[in-house]
Structures are given as C-alpha cells and as structure tokens.
Amino acid sequence: MSQADKSIHEFDFKLICEYFSSIERQGPGSPDVTVKALSFIDNLTSESKIADIGCGTGGQTMVLAENTLGHITGIDLFADFIDIFNDSFRKKNLQSRVVGVVGAMDDLSFQNEALDLIWSEGAIYNIGFERGINEWRKFLNNGGFIAVSEASWFTETRPDEIDRFWKDAYPEIDTIANKIGQMQKAGYIPMAAFVLPENCWTENFYVPQVPAQELFLKKYAGNKAAEDLVINQRHEAELYNKYKKYYGYVFYIGKKI
Ligand code: SAH
C-alpha cells in the first residue's frame, strides 16, 4: 500500500468510526437477543472473567453487565469507541467491573484459560469465524463458553445478486449447519444456535442510521469518502429488505470441552 493510499485509508477509517459512533450499535442485535444468548450459559458467578471482543461502543456489553456479576473486559480496535464505552460504564458506576481497552482480536493478551466466557456480537467476521473460534479457544478454561453472532445463510441456494454481494463482503458466510460443524470441529459442544429476529437489523441498526446519515452528509457535503460510506450503508439496508429470507445473523453458543 502506498503512503497516499494509506492516508486515504486512515481518513476513511476515522470517518467510519465517526459515523458508527453516532449510533448506539455498530452491528445488528438487541438487548433481548443478548439476554437470550446468555440464558444458555450456566457457569457464571461474581468471580467470572468475561471478554467482549469487538465490543464497539458497548451497547451489548451494558446488557451483559446488567445480567451478569463477573468482571468484563471490552476490546475494540477503535480508541474512540473505547472512550465512549468507558464513559458510559463510569456514568453507571460500573467502572470497577467493566473496563474497555484498545486491542486487536488477532493479538489478544489474555493468559491461557483465563476466561469463563468469550462474547462477540457482529465482530468475529473481522478475523473470520473459523479462525476466531479456534484461536480464542485457548483463553477459555475447560467448561468455558463462547457466544458469537455471525452472518449466515438460511438456505442452500440464493439469488445471484445477494450471493455475489456477500461473497465479496465476507466470503466466509456459510449455512448454519456448516457453522455449527466448524464449532464442533474447533473443540466446543454446540449448545445452541438461534436466528436474530428482523428488528435487530431494522429498528436497531438500519433505522437509527437514517438521521445519522442526514447529519453526516450535511457535515461532509462534497466529501466523496463520506458520501460513498452513506451510499454503501443504504445499499446494504436495501439488500437486506430484499433478500432477508436468505440470510441474517445467527448467535452460536459453544462450550469448551
Ligand atoms: N459488538 C458491537 C460492535 C460490532 S461492529 C455491536 O454489536 O454493536 C464490529 C466491531 O469490531 C467494531 O467496533 C470494530 O471497531 C471492531 N473491530 C474491527 N476489527 C477489529 C479487530 N481486528 N480487533 C478488535 N476489534 C475490531
């Protein structure tokens, strides 16, 4: 990558970060879904150590904190997200139990077998589902849980337009059965898998982006990178509406054996 490419890329990175900082969640999800995924996990106490990887600004981490007693570490690559994260836990006086740190999911600094639960909503795709569940496994103690949400196909086949879109965006998208197989192969008991309801994409993800897009376009009028970002997000939302019966997010919960 040339230096010029790099600086353009860094600018885009800041823009993407600013865009997503303005909404509560940076991926599809909901408090109900987080609580439901937690209901399959039965090993937690006030001594538990939990990591929320790719935590973003911490929308789901807050739900985790309100429904568990242990210590939570949120990890995200974007320092601005981690600042928002730590501010909101300070405001709730939960800063002694929940701490956000800047870090990369492919270079985590936990000790082996230090964690009781690894959580990751809408983020593991950044290193790939299969790599993530395999590499993170060593951080869990025996009987520890992993709970991740991941884009998945609902059907064996689908229209070309959406197939091409996803194979370009995230070639590892696969059927639920295959993802469960990967979890089993990686050394987990697949404890549960469930499809996130549509409101996780619409009400909780695409709808809050509409006013954010208006403000963003006003602030960055004439800025091609900002306009492209909004165009891409709108295109993604349109595709979701058109093809939602073929794909969605699925929560996968596994127990280390
Ligand atoms: N879990 C949040 C955010 C999902 S968006 C939610 O559900 O709302 C994906 C997140 O992964 C973003 O916050 C992004 O900054 C983070 N991310 C991307 N690549 C990463 C990496 N290599 N290491 C850690 N975090 C990463």
CATH of the domain at 172: 3.40.50.150
Place of tokens 């981490």: 61
Residue 21 is predicted with a pLDDT of 87
Place of tokens 């349109």: 238
Residue 14 is predicted with a pLDDT of 86
Ligand 1 centroid to 204 CA: how many Å?
17
Burial category of 61 from C-beta neighbours within 10 Å (exposed 0-12, middle 13-18, buried 19 and up): buried
Ligand 1 centroid to 127 CA: how many Å?
10
Residue 3 is predicted with a pLDDT of 45
Q: How far apart are CA 177 and CA 242, in angstroms?
A: 23
Q: Which residues line ligand 1 (CB under 6 A)?
A: 25-27, 29, 54-56, 59-60, 75-78, 81, 104-106, 121-123, 126
**Residue 55 φ then ψ, to 5°:** -75, -15
How many domains does the structure of the chain reveal? 1
Residue 4 is predicted with a pLDDT of 45
**DSSP three-state, residue 247:** strand
For ligand 1, pick from 9, 15, 26 the residue to mutate: most ligand atoms within 8 Å of CB: 26
Contact 27, 94 (CB under 8 A): no
Atom of ligand 1 nearest to the CA of 52: 1
Residue 13 is predicted with a pLDDT of 83
Instruction: State the residue range of the domain holding 132.
Output: 3-256
Indicate left, alpha or beta for 123 from its phi (over 0: left) and psi (-120 to 50: alpha): alpha
Ligand 1 centroid to 66 CA: how many Å?
21
Q: How far apart are CA 172 and CA 179, in angstroms?
A: 10
Contact 249, 29 (CB under 8 A): yes
Ligand 1 centroid to 114 CA: how many Å?
22
Over its length of 257 residues, how does the chain's per-residue pLDDT go in tens digits?
444 444 556 668 888 889 998 888 899 999 999 999 999 999 899 999 999 999 999 999 999 999 999 999 999 999 999 999 999 999 999 999 999 999 999 999 999 999 999 999 999 999 999 999 999 999 999 999 999 999 999 999 999 999 999 999 999 999 999 999 999 999 999 999 999 999 999 999 999 999 999 999 999 999 999 999 999 999 999 999 999 999 999 999 999 99
Tell me the residue length of the chain: 257
Angle value at C-alpha 12, between 125 and 23, nearest 5 degrees: 65
Residue 83 is predicted with a pLDDT of 96
Query: How far is residue 189 CA from its own chain's centroid?
Result: 22
Residue 11 is predicted with a pLDDT of 66
Ligand 1 centroid to 74 CA: how many Å?
10
